[in-house]
Amino acid sequence: GENVEQHPSTLSVQEGDSAVIKCTYSDSASNYFPWYKQELGKGPQLIIDIRSNVGEKKDQRIAVTLNKTAKHFSLHITETQPEDSAVYFCAAVSGAGSYQLTFGKGTKLSVIP
């Protein structure tokens, strides 16, 4: 089955700096890659996603890049703010027809004011 590796497990940045989280996946058939943000005590919330026919997608301060050949994708957050502090999860779709997501183990991002 699919295996998703996520790095780093923790990341601290100064407010205003950029943050980058990287993920690799194993199944070359995977074609959908979402990123979720989870604040303390809450459920994961989708923040951005990318499909395999696109190399990059941007939404204001957040961007995701995908390299299908290398089987890795990354989340980029620019001009970080304290409210960006949370745990971020990457995921990949596995299992045609059921839309099962395989998640990375998460990155705890801390933005220092």
Partner 1 sequence: NAGVTQTPKFRVLKTGQSMTLLCAQDMNHEYMYWYRQDPGMGLRLIHYSVGEGTTAKGEVPDGYNVSRLKKQNFLLGLESAAPSQTSVYFCASSWAETQYFGPGTRLLVL
Residues that bind partner 1 (CB under 8 A): 1, 6, 9, 32, 34, 36, 41-46, 49, 89, 93, 97-106
- Of 32 and 72, the one with the shorter C-beta distance to partner 1 is 32
CB of 17 to partner 1, least distance (A): 26
Rounded Cα gap, residues 103 and 106, in angstroms: 8
- Of 23 and 111, the one with the shorter C-beta distance to partner 1 is 23
Which residues are 48's β-sheet partners? Answer: 35
Nearest 5 degrees, angle CA 101-CA 105-CA 106? Answer: 100
CB of 70 to partner 1, least distance (A): 22
Check residue 39 and report its DSSP letter.
-
- Of 17 and 105, the one with the shorter C-beta distance to partner 1 is 105
CB of 54 to partner 1, least distance (A): 14
Residue 82 has φ and ψ, to the nearest 5°, of -55, -35
Rounded Cα gap, residues 94 and 32, in angstroms: 9
